[in-house]
Amino acid sequence: MSIEQLAETAQAMVAAGKGIIAIDESTGTIKKRFDSVNVESTEENRRAYREMLLTTPKLGEYISGAILFDETLRQSTKDGVPFTKIMNDAGIIPGIKVDKGTHPLAGFPDEVVTEGLDGLRARLEEYYKLGARFAKWRAVIRIGEDIPTGTCIDANAHALARYAALCQEQGLVPMVEPEILLDGDHDIDTCYEVTEVVLRTLFSALYEHNVMLEGTILKVSMVLPGKDAEEQASIEEVAAATLHCLKASVPATLPGIVFLSGGQSDEDATAHLDAMNRMGEKPWPLSFSYGRAMQSAALKIWAEDMTGNVAKAQETVYARARENGLAALGEWSKDA
């Protein structure tokens, strides 16, 4: 795929008023979600749940793409229609999570590095044939006493860059996700400093690996104080700090930036995005790539009656998509 085609896909992923739904939970993670609502995590229940999400009427009005897990990319509706066809017919670009999760960083017991580069080229080739047009790799950075170290930041940036280069070689838009965890009691200034270093290191690594930024999407955390911090920040303070940090560290050639919700409440994730998009001109579109903040309410409704509550759960999915789509335009209102 040419850079023009990669750029076209990347731009479509951050189209005005649209964002990405993340339904790429691993088997272990989706089991935890299902356990919380007393649903057994069988393959059929996982398939049925994700069918409910992906067949939500008019979802494509506010959702440009969906990140899937390997299992989901290969699945179909109960009537035998591949999920990828359902998505393409709705104007939703199929994406795929390709990393193999975090593992302890050797020599640094309090930090982790994401693995999954071995065999990635062949997996990406298969995913493209299965219909995926973008991929996602998540790195995890923790803030604590004497961490993150430069070694941890460098190791994760290097892995993200190698992954991104392989994606573009196989015709997939890489979504690079360096998540700064919300865990901890650090203040917003510390989060800002760490986020800026992480992003500067990441883009340096992408440059060194000849990754074409025009065909790349950044998925990033907002600049927030730790969830255990004594002093929390207002919606406006988070929005201003995040926007300032991004302008200081992200090249303007990037097609767009999407945020992860990262443990925020549904409403806060939407409010922060909306506030940023009300703050004047920006070099790139700012949108969303939410998982729990898009699904949590719908999951509870669906779990109460997995066949009878499908339409009701889908109404909630659509409502959350609409709210975040409006926030991506800076047009969301809490009372709307």
Preceding amide of 255 cis, omega within 30: no
- Residue (of 323, 215, 225, 224) closest to 266 by Cα position: 323
Is beta strand 102-105 parallel, antiparallel or unpaired with respect to 173-180? Answer: unpaired
219 catalytic? Reply is yes
- DSSP type of residue 82: B
Catalytic residue chosen out of the listed positions 18, 97, 136, 219:
219
- Paired strand residues for 21: 66, 290
Helix, coil or strand: residue 38: coil
All residues at 6 or more sequence positions from 76 whose CB lies less than 8 Å from its CB, including other chains: 82, 83
Strand locations in the chain (E): 19-23, 63-68, 93-97, 102-105, 108-114, 134-141, 173-180, 217-220, 257-259, 286-290
Pick from 244, 262, 251, 264: which is nearest to 192 by CA? 244
Residue 14 CA to residue 243 CA, distance in Å, equals 17
User: What is the predicted pLDDT for the residue at 142?
Assistant: 98
Residue 334 pLDDT: 77
Superfamily grouping for domain 3-327: Aldolase class I (3.20.20.70)
pLDDT given at position 333: 87
At residue 319, the pLDDT reads: 96
The amino acid present at 70, given as its one-letter code, is D
Q: Name the nearest CA neighbour of 22 among 321, 302, 323.
A: 321
The one catalytic residue in 111, 177, 179, 323 is: 177
Whole-number Å distance between alpha carbons of 39 and 69: 19
Contact 195, 246 (CB under 8 A): no
Cβ–Cβ contacts within 10 Å for residue 80, how many? 6
CB 254 within 8 A of CB 50: no
Tens of pLDDT, residue by residue over 5-36, are 999 999 999 999 999 999 999 999 999 999 99
pLDDT of residue 294: 86
Mean pLDDT of each 10-residue bin along the chain, 336 residues long? 89 98 93 95 96 97 98 97 97 98 96 98 98 98 97 98 98 98 96 98 98 98 96 96 98 97 90 96 96 89 94 96 97 80
Q: Cα separations (Å) of 129 from 25, 50, 74, 172, 281? A: 22, 21, 11, 11, 38
pLDDT of residue 262: 85
- pLDDT at residue 336, rounded to an integer: 57
First to last CA, the chain: 42
Provide the pLDDT for residue 1: 59
In this prediction, residue 3 carries a pLDDT of 81
